[in-house]
Structure 1
Amino acid sequence: MQNETISRRDALKFGAVGAGLAMLGASEAMASTLFAKDVKFDEEYDVIVIGSGFAGLAAAAKAAERGYQVLVLEKMGRVGGNSTINGGAFAVPNNELQKKHGVKDSGEIFIQDCLKAGLGINHVELLETIVKRANDALEFTIKCGAKYQMDVKPAWFGGHSVPRTITTDNMSGSGIIKPLSEFVEKLPGCKLYKRTKFDEFVINNEGGVVGVVARVDYRFDGKLLSDDIENKTGQKKFYKARKGVILASGGFGADKVFRKLQDPRIREDADATNHEGATAGAMLKAFQVGAMPVHIDWIQFGPWASPDERGFGVAPLLTQQGLFKFGMAVDVRTGKRFMNELADRKTRADAEFKILREAPVAYPVAIGTYNAFDEQIKPAIEKGLANGCMKKYETLDQVATAYKIPTEELKKSVAKYNEGIKSGMDEFGKPVKDFNGQGIESKGPYYCIRLVPKPHHTMGGLKINEKAQVISANTLKPIPGLFAAGEVTGGTHGASRLGSVAVTDCLTFGMIAGESI
């Protein structure tokens, strides 16, 4: 097989010039474009899905349910990517569980919450699509075998005006990934290949996507840039897609090179919540065939992570649904609170970064008592204590000594916080009127977690429309045969995503991609 080097006119026609070429280099992009007439396909399917996370498996399951032959390609040795290590929290506006517990919600409230967190630069038509289809996506995952905690009130995540988040039974994204993957693989004509890395698209003479090039027996070695450019492991295969290709390759939060190019403030050694395979390569290949980029340099940090464990860990669960809800966070230098612990992620991460810029090792500390934790997450306390991200102290004096916090100021902060809860008025605007007077108890034990924002979600990616079609940067029309869903897309969340809306976004638009194709 011989690659065809296309002319500058053809490059413009097919979208290889513009945003894609600016990122990849003109000669490289033109040299790597493959045309169907020059390819002998090894296998043919109706639909090819790149990625096996929430978006990819939802797309594959919906397409397979329609009777299509589906091939899912996953470059890592296990399915799911970030979705597997996700906390399994699924924000569903105006869901039945809210109604059961008397929670008043609406699509309008959900969109306003998203716009506030996203600084108003969200693409509202995508949010409106989520509102219309989120409950459908929930029901579809249940049909495929996912199980959720339907006997408790929905969880209240930071930045949301009301509790609207439904959590999987096992409090992990694996509770959705496992049944979806099993659903897909049981259907006739559908396959899921692991350790198979997507390399590039195959296009026809009209610039439509008709297949992909991938490598089987690929071995990811964790060198990030090398894995997308220099890692040559595996054997090349050509797969034809009769209906089209769905790109659901996820974000690039673990890509130390690409994320730093977008935001030079991110240290190369900064720990991320992402799995190590969360790199930019597949997204860049979409830019190469003309996909419109949106919000690429908006990278979200998780304000609930801990420097005392690697990756995502258990701290986000214990802080989001525990210490941040009924406890508080303090600046160890002063012993004072410094933020609304239930604000949106960007607001909280910015507040923590302000402290860490002034004193790089003065990690803020989240503090609470046993009553701070929702009943369903109390079993995770032992995990936090075992891995060292959470510490337990009998008195506030011990807390102050352990973290070198001014003792009297810490006690004053706890008292002031509790007074605010009793009066229903919090100095930082935390919605304490809904806490039924529940704050930090007057005696221990006290549970503490040190905080550090970690790169978590990349807001930017490919521009899609309400049908999950990828929009061309050259024609402003859909690229024939190319669909995308999930974190590889951009615009939905604006500058910063609300917690638990990633699952909603991925599953909803994954499902829509599987329907639209």
Structure 2
Amino acid sequence: MTGINRRGLLKGSIFGMAAAGASVIPVAVQAQAAAPVKTEEYDVVVIGCGCAGMAAALEAADKGAKVVILEKMSRPAGNTIFAGGHFNATNTYVQKAQGLQDTIDDFYRDMMIVSQQRGDKALTRQYCEMSGSAIQWLTDECGVKFKPIVVEVFPGLNRGHVVDGKLKPGGAQLSKQMLDTVKAKKIPVLFNTKVISLIGDNRLHVLGCRAVNEDDEAVDFMAKGGVVICTGGFHANKEMVCRYMGGDVAWMPIRGSNVLQGENITLTMPFNPKYVNMDQFHAGPIHGPTRANPSTMVNYGVLLKEDGTRFLDEAETYVSVAQKMPKIIPNNWAFIIIDSQVVDVPTVKARIDRYKRAKAPIYTGNTIEEMAKAANLPVEQVVSVIKEYNDAVKAGKANTLTPPNTLEKPRLIEKGPFMAFPFQGGMTATFGGPMITAKSEVLNNDDKPIPGLYAAGNALGGIFYHDYIVGSQLTAAVIWGRIAGEQAAARAGAKQG
């Protein structure tokens, strides 16, 4: 190693062809690349055709940029299509139409409470301030309609905007309408096109990316304004989940897409980005075998283990319930018990319908005994636990139970028929990834933007920690997707000027 310094070694191993055209491709790939590589030039290249990617592409196109979306699957297949279609936002036209009151300061306070004060403060404030315009943009740009808001328990409150439409879940409807808008604007979407590396120069500026198309050909997509990473996180990559979160978590069933393999990390790593919150993830209830998703229904009844005992405060968010289950319950199975008093609540009705559509088991009975027997739960234990719970609720002492129920208005379980919904704690998405600026620029480990590299959606890190208010990820995807598209388009224009 005499005479070879670290800088020289870095150039030789990662940027061996920098002087001839500047490509950031592993040496092993370079050695095998014998055939000439086709090159296509755009102003903005977006990787990933989910909510964030399509928002970025639409915004860039509206700013006059020549943009392309590269998607490794044959159709949009990320978390968007599996999402319930919730958007968490304030100061929206939907709220105003219903006379619902809220403030940005209250919203910011609640977002920070849920993130245990560890969500990036500046980005969280920006989220709160821009959430209303995200809802408006979806309606104006893509024709997205929202159902009337149903006021929920803390922290959802009156901020949950659910996409309306024929397709279920709401995320599928959202994806269709956004993709229809992308097509109407004649933005090319190249499916079955997998990005294998970013292209950069010896200054660590991003110039584009290399992908393999559906004909198994390598193509370099050069981007004058920049590349926008919208690949989602790494929750379907078991090795990465084990590395950053531990083996117990890796056994959780997947609630979202099973194709999100961590390209937000593997593609960006050669540029030394600042990764944050890599051990954090979003979880939620799921019936793993059928993928039926009860989500916030955990707040409308009683949560029981298979031994018939309660195990968590029913005021916990559905995310917190799912995150804790594998640590409390070795086999990660439990039940949501409700009675007929809540079945017509829109939130509950929608989740019962999810179980029915998925043909997931729902155990019913006109009495607690019948329901417990149908679910193969210990009858006497369940009857005793429900009686103790109901007595405490009626006495106004639910918060003295073990565990307590700290809901402002705990739900009684006393009017048949009764229903039991089996579920597991599942993983939805990871919170970790490259830290960004307010302009969606990816930061390096020196807290400086990496020129030409942007991130949005679940691909970025810093906004969420521990938990989030339901609907926050889709809203954030639109906010920073649009910002990334706008910034990359402006950078392309500046270069042309």
TM-score range, shorter chain: 0.7 to 0.9
Q: Deviations over 1:473-496 (max 9, x none)?
A: 2x4211111110011111101233
Q: 1:481 to 1:503 in 2, by over 3 A?
A: same
Matches within 5 A, 1:178-189: 178-188=176-186
Q: Is the 8 A contact 2:254 2:288 kept in 1?
A: no
Q: 1:351 to 1:398 in 2, by over 3 A?
A: farther
What is the aligned partner in structure 1 of residue 240 from structure 2? 258
Matches within 5 A, 1:47-446: 47-101=44-98, 103-150=100-147, 152-154=148-150, 156=152, 160=155, 162-170=157-165, 171-188=169-186, 190-217=187-214, 234-266=216-248, 270-302=252-284, 304-309=285-290, 313-316=291-294, 319-320=295-296, 323-333=297-307, 335-345=308-318, 347-357=320-330, 360=331, 363-373=333-343, 374-375=345-346, 378=349, 381-385=352-356, 387-418=359-390, 426-427=398-399, 428-433=404-409, 439-444=412-417, 446=418
Letter in 2 for 1:306: H
Q: 1:510 to 1:352 in 2, by over 3 A?
A: same
Look up the SS of the partner of 1:174 in the other structure.
helix
Greater Cα shift, 258-267 or 422-431 = 422-431
Q: Deviations over 1:55-101 (max 9, x none)?
A: 11111111111111110001011115110111101111343434454
CA distance, structure 1, for counterparts of residue 128 and residue 310 of structure 2: 35
CA distance, structure 1, for counterparts of residue 145 and residue 12 of structure 2: 44
Q: 1:153 to 1:418 in 2, by over 3 A?
A: farther
Match of 2:457 among 486, 496, 507: 486
Q: Deviations over 1:171-226 (max 9, x none)?
A: 421222112122122224x20011100111111343211111001117xxxxxxxx
Match of 2:444 among 437, 459, 472: 472
Aligned length: 465
Letter in 2 for 1:165: G
Letter in 1 for 2:408: V
Q: Once the 2 structures are TM-superposed, how far is the Cα of residue 40 of structure 1 from its aligned partner?
A: 6.2
Look up the SS of the partner of 1:507 in the other structure.
helix
Q: 1:268 to 1:153 in 2, by over 3 A?
A: closer
Q: Once the 2 structures are TM-superposed, how far is the Cα of residue 341 of structure 1 from its aligned partner?
A: 2.7
CA RMSD, aligned part only?
3.1
Q: 1:119 to 1:404 in 2, by over 3 A?
A: same
Q: Is the 8 A contact 2:114 2:467 kept in 1?
A: yes
Q: 1:140 to 1:267 in 2, by over 3 A?
A: closer
Q: Once the 2 structures are TM-superposed, how far is the Cα of residue 365 of structure 1 from its aligned partner?
A: 0.8
Q: 1:393 to 1:10 in 2, by over 3 A?
A: farther
Look up the SS of the partner of 1:378 in the other structure.
helix
Q: 1:213 to 1:393 in 2, by over 3 A?
A: same
Q: 1:15 to 1:439 in 2, by over 3 A?
A: farther
Q: 1:58 to 1:378 in 2, by over 3 A?
A: same
Q: Once the 2 structures are TM-superposed, how far is the Cα of residue 344 of structure 1 from its aligned partner?
A: 2.9
Q: Once the 2 structures are TM-superposed, how far is the Cα of residue 265 of structure 1 from its aligned partner?
A: 2.3
CA distance, structure 2, for counterparts of residue 263 and residue 395 of structure 1: 42
CA distance, structure 2, for counterparts of residue 257 and residue 194 of structure 1: 26
Look up the SS of the partner of 1:128 in the other structure.
helix
Could you list the runs of 5+ residues in structure 1 that have no partner in the other structure? 1-5, 18-26, 219-233
Q: Once the 2 structures are TM-superposed, how far is the Cα of residue 515 of structure 1 from its aligned partner?
A: 1.7
CA distance, structure 1, for counterparts of residue 29 and residue 447 of structure 2: 23
1:509 matched to 2:480: yes
Q: Once the 2 structures are TM-superposed, how far is the Cα of residue 109 of structure 1 from its aligned partner?
A: 2.7
Q: Is the 8 A contact 1:49 1:248 kept in 2?
A: yes
Q: Once the 2 structures are TM-superposed, how far is the Cα of residue 298 of structure 1 from its aligned partner?
A: 1.7
CA distance, structure 2, for counterparts of residue 140 and residue 378 of structure 1: 29
CA distance, structure 2, for counterparts of residue 417 and residue 66 of structure 1: 58
Q: 1:269 to 1:408 in 2, by over 3 A?
A: closer
Q: Once the 2 structures are TM-superposed, how far is the Cα of residue 379 of structure 1 from its aligned partner?
A: 6.0
Q: Is the 8 A contact 1:324 1:366 kept in 2?
A: yes
Q: Once the 2 structures are TM-superposed, how far is the Cα of residue 168 of structure 1 from its aligned partner?
A: 0.7
Q: Is the 8 A contact 1:197 1:214 kept in 2?
A: yes
Q: Is the 8 A contact 2:120 2:462 kept in 1?
A: yes
Q: Once the 2 structures are TM-superposed, how far is the Cα of residue 16 of structure 1 from its aligned partner?
A: 7.1
Q: Deviations over 1:399-422 (max 9, x none)?
A: 222344343443344345445655
Greater Cα shift, 268-277 or 374-383 = 374-383
Q: Is the 8 A contact 1:118 1:497 kept in 2?
A: yes
CA distance, structure 1, for counterparts of residue 114 and residue 406 of structure 2: 15
Greater Cα shift, 422-431 or 76-85 = 422-431
What is the aligned partner in structure 1 of residue 495 from structure 2? none
CA distance, structure 1, for counterparts of residue 230 and residue 425 of structure 2: 26
CA distance, structure 1, for counterparts of residue 193 and residue 122 of structure 2: 34
Q: Is the 8 A contact 2:362 2:420 kept in 1?
A: yes
TM-score (normalised: structure 1):
0.81
What is the aligned partner in structure 2 of residue 498 from structure 1? 469
CA distance, structure 2, for counterparts of residue 208 and residue 168 of structure 1: 38
Greater Cα shift, 126-135 or 446-455 = 446-455
CA distance, structure 1, for counterparts of residue 156 and residue 370 of structure 2: 35
Q: Is the 8 A contact 2:88 2:469 kept in 1?
A: no
Q: 1:432 to 1:98 in 2, by over 3 A?
A: farther
CA distance, structure 2, for counterparts of residue 292 and residue 343 of structure 1: 31
Q: 1:174 to 1:14 in 2, by over 3 A?
A: farther
Q: Deviations over 1:332-371 (max 9, x none)?
A: 32x34332334234532354234313xx26x221011244
CA distance, structure 2, for counterparts of residue 378 and residue 78 of structure 1: 30
Q: Percent identity?
A: 24
Q: Is the 8 A contact 2:45 2:68 kept in 1?
A: yes
Look up the SS of the partner of 1:72 in the other structure.
strand
Q: Deviations over 1:249-301 (max 9, x none)?
A: 00111112211121222365542112221101342220212211111122333
Q: 1:267 to 1:439 in 2, by over 3 A?
A: closer
Q: Deviations over 1:141-190 (max 9, x none)?
A: 1112343334x333537x516231110114421222112122122224x2
